């Protein structure tokens, strides 16, 4: 189609430059418009039709491109990334349970087990910075070392409430207080200054109560 259109334009150019009759000299008055030569009107009509066809073709092409652009499917929006879900850490149930058992365990149980074996238990409730408490501590340790049937334990006075199972029947109100429990689980006590002989006497008294 473009080749035919180009041929029409070339022919029109040749006709206007070479075949068209030349007018008179510039000094001569302008003659009346000569009638168009046969075929000239047809040529002009052909040129007009060709130009109209080109314009129509270009318009159709633009419409087709626009329609193609409108019909093209829109790209789907990018799928949002899933937020990272942190896996909750499993609670250390075993550790917490063990810690709770240690905290709430009755410290009297090991001492009761020794009493069941026929041993005598000495409990010293003391305040380490105090001089009389330190002296009582030494006396209790010596008595423990001298008698294989004795089990001694030192406990801070502030923790006396945790040993109710082995201090039933005696009062522990101040430090130092020495409590001696015989195999029959009956206790005797002495508060204040105590030496080794006093501790040994308490041991003998607890055993005689059987």
Token pair belonging to 122 = 């000495």
Domains contained in the chain, CATH given? 106-208 (3.40.30.10)
Q: What is the pLDDT of residues 31-53, one digit of tens each?
A: 545 555 455 565 566 556 656 76
As a whole number of angstroms, the distance between CA 154 and CA 107 comes to 12
pLDDT: is 41 or 144 the higher one? 144
As a whole number of angstroms, the distance between CA 131 and CA 146 comes to 23
Is the distance from CB of 120 to CB of 151 less than 8 angstroms? Answer: yes
- Over residues 162-182, the mean pLDDT reads 91
Torsion angles phi and psi, residue 123, rounded to 5? -115, 125
As a whole number of angstroms, the distance between CA 109 and CA 115 comes to 10
Residue 85 has what pLDDT? 59
Assign 205 a pLDDT band (cuts: 50, 70, 90). confident
pLDDT: is 192 or 52 the higher one? 192
Q: Is the pLDDT of residue 143 over 70?
A: yes
CA distances, 12 to each of 44, 126, 209 (Å): 8, 131, 148
pLDDT: is 42 or 108 the higher one? 108
The label of the residue with tokens 């001569």 reads: 28
Token pair belonging to 111 = 């001492």
The mean predicted confidence, pLDDT, of the chain is 73
As a whole number of angstroms, the distance between CA 65 and CA 201 comes to 117
Q: Write out the DSSP string of 170-192.
A: S---SSSEEEEE-TTS-EEEEES
Residue 208 has what pLDDT? 78
pLDDT: is 144 or 178 the higher one? 178
Q: Which residues contact 152 (CB under 8 A, 6 or more apart)?
A: 121, 122, 123, 124, 140, 141, 143, 144
Over its C-alpha atoms, the chain yields an Rg (Å, rounded) of: 62
Is the distance from CB of 125 to CB of 160 less than 8 angstroms? Answer: yes
Torsion angles phi and psi, residue 201, rounded to 5? -65, -40
Is the distance from CB of 177 to CB of 156 less than 8 angstroms? Answer: no
Residue 18 has what pLDDT? 55
Task: Give Cα 4 distance to the centre of its chain.
Answer: 75
Q: Is the pLDDT of residue 102 over 50?
A: no
Q: Which of 193, 187, 133 is nearest to 163 (CA)?
A: 187
């Amino acid at each position: 189609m473009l080749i035919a259109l180009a041929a029409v334009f070339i022919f029109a150019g040749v006709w206007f430059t070479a075949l068209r009759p030349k007018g008179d000299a510039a000094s001569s008055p302008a003659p009346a418009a000569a009638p168009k030569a046969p075929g000239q009107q047809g040529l002009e009509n052909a040129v007009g039709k060709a130009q109209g066809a080109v314009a129509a073709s270009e318009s159709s092409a633009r419409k087709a491109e626009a329609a193609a652009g409108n019909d093209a499917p829109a790209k789907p929006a990018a799928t949002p990334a899933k937020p990272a879900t942190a896996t909750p850490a499993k609670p250390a149930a075993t550790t917490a349970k063990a810690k709770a058992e240690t905290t709430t365990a009755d410290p009297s149980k090991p001492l009761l087990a020794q009493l069941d074996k026929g041993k005598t238990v000495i409990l010293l409730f003391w305040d380490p910075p105090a001089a009389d408490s330190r002296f009582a501590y030494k006396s209790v340790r010596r008595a423990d070392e001298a008698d294989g049937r004795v089990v001694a334990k030192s406990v801070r006075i502030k923790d006396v409430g945790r040993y109710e199972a082995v201090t039933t029947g005696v009062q522990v109100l101040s430090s130092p207080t020495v409590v001696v429990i015989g195999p029959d689980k009956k206790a005797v006590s002495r508060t204040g200054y105590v030496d080794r002989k006093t501790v040994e006497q308490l041991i003998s008294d607890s055993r005689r109560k059987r």
